[in-house]
């Protein structure tokens, strides 16, 4: 081989998997498959999906603590939920700014009720949320998505793409149901055999424990 000639890997497919792995480890957030293909310099978004599937199969086979997941339209390297308690312990030792419980509860209401007015958030939480909403907007977790057809045209709030990234969600459709988040002690035993429609306003939505830990460091980014 002449000097300066590119070195061809013995197995280009394996090499591409390793490149994708390195890209995802180095990325600050989810990367769309088309962008990964662009960085690779070869293939399509579909090819990237196959490489990601191969990586996840290899991780599963050797019992790795992480997987590549689809988050907010892009691929991101995430740790498995089973390791949550150790990562939570690590997070508890950090002195960085974190989201307060009030901020997490407000964020949950926005996520489940969006687009939602501030007055409706306050009616659900029973307290003023002006400062909390401003904090969530500063962190780019909440944004103004429009104005309500009410007197004074109050602003409507919704979540951002960063919200999906922080909580590891592919889309808002991936949010768990409110019923699934209701603590057992607050669940009422059924008195009828036929199902009854649940009133959404009766239960304030809460974020899952794993998701709360993802949000704990949102103030650091």
pLDDT of residue 179: 59
Reported as half-sphere exposure (CB side, CA atoms, 13 A), residue 178 has a value of 17
The span from the CA of 156 to the CA of 114, in Å, is: 8
Digit-coded pLDDT (tens) for 32-49? 999 999 988 888 899 999
pLDDT band of 144, cuts 50, 70, 90: very high
Digit-coded pLDDT (tens) for 155-169? 999 999 889 888 888
Sign of CA dihedral 215, 219, 220, 221: positive
165: burial class by Cβ within 10 Å (0-12, 13-18, 19+)? buried
Q: Is the whole-model pTM more than 0.75?
A: no
The number of angstroms, rounded, from the C-alpha of 65 to the middle of its chain's C-alpha atoms is: 18
pLDDT band of 197, cuts 50, 70, 90: very low
The span from the CA of 41 to the CA of 92, in Å, is: 41
Tell me how many degrees the CA angle 78-79-84 measures, rounded to the nearest 5: 135
Q: Is the pLDDT reported for residue 104 higher than 80? A: yes
Domains and CATH numbers, the chain: 12-79 (1.10.10.10), 92-183+199-220 (1.10.10.10)
Mean pLDDT of the chain: 77
Q: Is the pLDDT reported for residue 202 higher than 50? A: no
In sequence order, what are the beta bridge partners of 79?
Answer: 66
Helices (H) and strands (E) in the chain, counts: 10, 5
pLDDT of residue 218: 56
pLDDT of residue 86: 78
pLDDT of residue 187: 54
Phi-psi region of 114 (alpha: psi -120 to 50; beta: other; left: phi over 0): beta
Tell how strand 142-147 and strand 155-159 pair up.
antiparallel
């Amino acid at each position: 081989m002449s000097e300066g000639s590119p070195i061809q890997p013995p197995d280009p497919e394996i090499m591409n998997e390793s490149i994708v792995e390195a890209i995802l480890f180095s990325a600050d957030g989810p990367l769309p498959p088309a962008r990964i293909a662009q960085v690779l310099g070869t293939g399509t978004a579909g090819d990237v999906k196959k490489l990601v599937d191969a990586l996840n199969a290899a991780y599963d086979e050797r019992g790795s603590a992480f997987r590549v997941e689809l988050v907010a339209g892009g691929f991101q390297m995430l740790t498995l939920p089973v390791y949550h308690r150790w990562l939570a312990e690590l997070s508890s030792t950090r002195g960085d700014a974190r989201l307060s419980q009030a901020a997490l509860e407000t964020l949950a209401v926005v996520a489940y009720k969006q687009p939602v007015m501030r007055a409706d958030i306050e009616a659900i939480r029973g307290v003023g949320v002006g400062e909390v909403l401003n904090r969530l907007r500063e962190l780019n977790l909440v944004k103004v998505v429009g104005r309500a057809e009410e007197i004074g045209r109050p602003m409507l709030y919704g979540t951002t793409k960063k919200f999906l990234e922080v909580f590891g969600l592919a889309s808002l459709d991936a949010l768990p149901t409110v019923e699934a988040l209701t603590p057992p002690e607050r669940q009422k035993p059924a008195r009828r055999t036929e199902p009854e429609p649940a009133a959404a306003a009766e239960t304030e939505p809460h974020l899952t424990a794993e998701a709360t830990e993802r949000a704990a460091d949102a103030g650091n980014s």
